[in-house]
Amino acid sequence: MSETIHHRICPLCEACCGLELKVNEGKIVSIRGHEADVFSAGYICPKGVALKDLHEDPDRLRTPLIKRDGEFVEATWDEAFAEIERRLPPVMAAHGRDAVAMSLGNPAAHKIGLLMYGPKLMKALGTRSIFSASTLDQMPKHLSSGLVFGHMFSIPIPDIVRTDYLLMLGANPMASNGSLWTVPDFRGKAKALRARGGKFVVVDPRRTETAALADEHHFIRPGADVFLLLGMVHTLFDENLVRLGRVAPHVDGVDAVQSAVQPFAPEKVADRCGIPAADIRRLARELAAAPRAAVYGRIGTCTQEYGTLVSWLVDVLNTLTGHLDEPGGAMFAKAAAFAANTAGTPGSGRGVITGRHKSRVSGAPEVFGELPMTCMAEEMETSGPGQIRALITIGSNPVLSSPNGLRLAAALDKLDFMISMDIYVNETSRHADVILPAPSALEDSHYDVAFPQLSWRNHARYSAAVFDLPQGQLPEWATLLKLTAIVQGGGAKADPAQLDAEQFGREATKLFADKAAAVIEATAHLKGPSRLLDMALRNGPYGDGFGATPDGLNLAKVQAAPGGIDLGELTPRVPEMLRTPSGKIELAPPSLLADLQRPAQDLARQTPSMVIIGRREVRSNNSWMHNLPLLAKGPERCTALVHPEDAQRLGLADGTMARISSRAGSIEARVQLSGDMMPGVVSLPHGWGHNLAGTRLSLAAKRPGANLNDLLDENWRDPLSGNAVLSGIEVELAVA
């Protein structure tokens, strides 16, 4: 067999780089960046190369597992579905729909089959018990964007290739290549910004790899970004710097914002955030004066008690300085398929309502149909109508990735039934009664559903499967349809292809009414996600309209372009992209203005002498990456970064073990001295702690690391979005 070359969008992080794989005799020979990729132009990070390790990992599951007498035994797919049919419907019948919960993890965002067919299973279940990783890292940005612009994915992103000034908070794209901002080769783009005379300012409690690249870095007290941003907004009004620019006729609520920020003059917030008032005023002036500028905040700004307020204030600053929706400013991508802000009536929509139901125990409001992940354990433990008694996880490992996962682990053991769709027996799926293995990403075709809505440049790229599915392995969309059929009473023997055709017919009829028959016929040669994708592309903003615009896109055209199709730079989209009921940019949502009372009361809070924050590293993203040899090798990564002054005060030496204790728990981690830390702040990366019994992550278990989440309080959340507070937790550090 000769060598073949394949192109695949990397599924391992939000940067979505185009990869080129060489394959010989069914084996991956090499993986490198695809030079001709229209979006990432050959960029790759070490994780992309490790896709080979993931594909070949002997620990990766290839056969369904059923737990019998406490032990997993291998089973056929038919046996696994029969077991599910035997055990899941009775839970629903006896205890109601809310008794079955679903938990979705990050990998679901990188698989079109999961994104398209997961919601179908959710709908069939009819449960309110929906949880996802979104409430551990990004719900605040979805919520603020939804309230202001009308949809959770209408998130403005920096137009980095044309900006003159970039202010970044709580983000480390040198390690991540963007999050809620798809920007492969961030380093190259940031360097180009500076080379053309632009200015790059980073605000972070750690002088991160990104901050090291910037013109200016400011330490900020963890969790205090809200005070900096309120001080900057105050300055804009105070110094008459507000200029809305072109979007002015489309903005509501400027006066309300002005009165709401009155208590937050820079001189009042400076101590609380740790940045001098003069610097706060200067940053506001620079932002207002820059011809093309953007503010961007990410994970550190979301995983804190004021996550939604901070996410909102980032866009208030972009709007008040005239940089929203302007080239070089904060702009909206225009995705070729699946974007809500290109569908329906341009310029207005239903907007966003939260709190249509609440969690039973804590009373946390639903947000976009989800309850906070940190409420899942108590919803399992607490009896009464709606108590969770069964769980379906999809690429989700909350025992490791959610605060106080050990409480959740104990709750999982008491469930009546649990199913995991996963590639590993990990800290969460070890509790399942049935594990349904996912195919390797390389055995699956792909088109990114979410990330083109957040991309630095518009594009359409499709990846064909590199390898055939192994004998008997179902694609994930078919697995989800089988589960859907079981839940709906159709039985374990239901044919997913037939169900798919029926569902497609219903969706086409809903979308196209009397033209549906033609759409059904035109796509009849396709099935599963490919058929939905073809319909979405053809009906999308660049589509061929099923013949109405012959030069437009369809799936065949995108498939025929291995490097993807470039759809151009970001272009102004206000007002057509708005989906608020008023048709305006709702700059002052009442719920956010009301929430300002919390920081107002918090202005005088004493800052603890030591707090902990997380961190992102190039060679790690999700917890399962610690089982890949290429990423696991090298120096120990789960270390506690401690400022030398703190270390000296506490008697800690580089390389020794420290005990880190909080109200919630205590862990031990190796100390790594770092002058890049803000004094009084210690940093430990997320996703570690692979020392729990019953997993099959043999490499990760050799160097398990400490779990930051064991220190975190699952009851501390941003009340608006339900996002867990992961940053700025008070801790004590001592010699272990």
How far is Cα 57 from Cα 89, in angstroms, rounded to an integer? 34
Contact region with ligand SF4 (CB under 6 A), list: 6-14, 161-169, 198-206, 649-657:
6-14
- Work out how close the CB of 175 gets to ligand SF4 at its nearest, in angstroms, rounded to a whole number: 9
Applying the rule CB under 6 A, the residues between 44 and 103 that interact with ligand SF4 are 44-45, 47-48
Kindly provide the b/e burial profile for residues 170-181, where b requires at least 16 CB atoms within 10 angstroms of the residue's own CB.
bbbbbbbbbbbb
Q: How far is the CB of 280 from ligand SF4 (least distance, A)?
A: 33
Residue nearest to ligand SF4 (CB): 48
Closer to ligand SF4 by Cβ: residue 60 or 430:
60
| Nearer to ligand SF4 (CB atom), residue 463 or residue 554 | 463
Q: 117: how many CB neighbours lie within 10 A of its CB?
A: 26
* DSSP secondary structure string for all residues of 644-668: HHHHHHHT--TTSEEEEE-SS-EEE
Site string for ligand SF4, 12-51 (x = CB under 6 A): xx-xxx--------------------------xx-xx---
Q: Which is nearer to ligand SF4, 6 or 272 (CB)?
A: 6
Question: What's the count of helices (H) and strands (E) in the chain, helices before strands?
Answer: 28, 27
Are 516 and 154 contacting, i.e. CB atoms less than 8 angstroms apart?
no
Of residues 171-200, those binding ligand SF4 (CB under 6 A): 177, 184
Q: Please report how close the Cβ of residue 191 comes to ligand SF4 at its closest, in angstroms.
A: 16
Q: How far is the CB of 629 from ligand SF4 (least distance, A)?
A: 16
Q: Which is nearer to ligand SF4, 105 or 349 (CB)?
A: 105
Q: How far is the CB of 37 from ligand SF4 (least distance, A)?
A: 10
Least distance to ligand SF4, CB of residue 489, Å: 41
For residue 567, what are its two tokens?
């759809």
Number of residues this chain uses to bind ligand SF4 (CB under 6 A): 12
Closer residue to ligand SF4, CB minimum distance, 553 or 700: 700
Q: Is 274 left (phi over 0), alpha (psi -120 to 50) or beta?
A: left
Integer Cα distance of 478 and 374 in angstroms: 30
The residue to which tokens 């990410």 are assigned? 298
Q: Residue 581, class by beta-carbon neighbours within 10 Å (0-12 exposed, 13-18 middle, 19+ buried)?
A: middle
Distance CA 558, CA 422 (A): 29
Residue type, 709: N
**What string marks each residue from 208 to 227 as x (binds ligand SF4 by CB under 6 A) or -?**
--------------------
Provide the minimum distance between the beta carbon of 115 and ligand SF4 in the complex, in angstroms, as a whole number: 17
Nearer Cβ to ligand SF4 (18/223): 18
CA angle 188, 193, 196 (to 5 degrees): 120
16 vs 121 by CB, closer to ligand SF4: 16
Cβ atoms within 10 Å of 492's Cβ, excluding its own: 18
Task: Report the residue number, 174 or 313, with the smaller CB distance to ligand SF4.
Answer: 174
Binding mask 682-711 for ligand SF4 (x = CB under 6 A): ------------------------------
Element (H, E) at 66: strand 65-68
Considering only residues 306 through 365, tell me which ones interact with ligand SF4, judged by CB under 6 A: none
Chain centroid, CA 22 distance in Å? 30
Residues 520 and 531: their CA atoms lie apart, in Å, by 9
Alpha helices (H) in 560-693, listed in sequence order: 590-595, 597-602, 629-632, 644-650
Q: Looking at beta carbons only, is 404 or 622 nearer to ligand SF4?
A: 622
Which residue's CB is nearer to ligand SF4, number 44 or number 692? 44
Residue with tokens 């196209």: 512
**Cβ 181 to ligand SF4 shortest distance, Å:** 13
Q: Quick one: which segment of 5-13, 225-233, 485-493, 494-502 binds ligand SF4 (CB under 6 A)? A: 5-13
Instruction: For the CB of residue 160, give the shortest distance to ligand SF4 in the complex, in Å.
Output: 15
Least separation in angstroms between CB 339 and ligand SF4:
20
CB of 703 to ligand SF4, least distance (A): 21
Which residues, 527 to 556, sit near ligand SF4 by CB under 6 A? Answer: none
Residue 303 in contact with residue 297, Cβ under 8 Å?
no
CB closer to ligand SF4 out of 7 and 234: 7
For every residue of 131-180, DSSP letters joined together read EETHHHHTHHHHHHHHHHHSSTT---EE-TTT-SEEEEES--HHHHS-SS
Q: Which residues bind ligand SF4 (CB under 6 A)?
A: 10, 12-13, 15-17, 44-45, 47-48, 177, 184
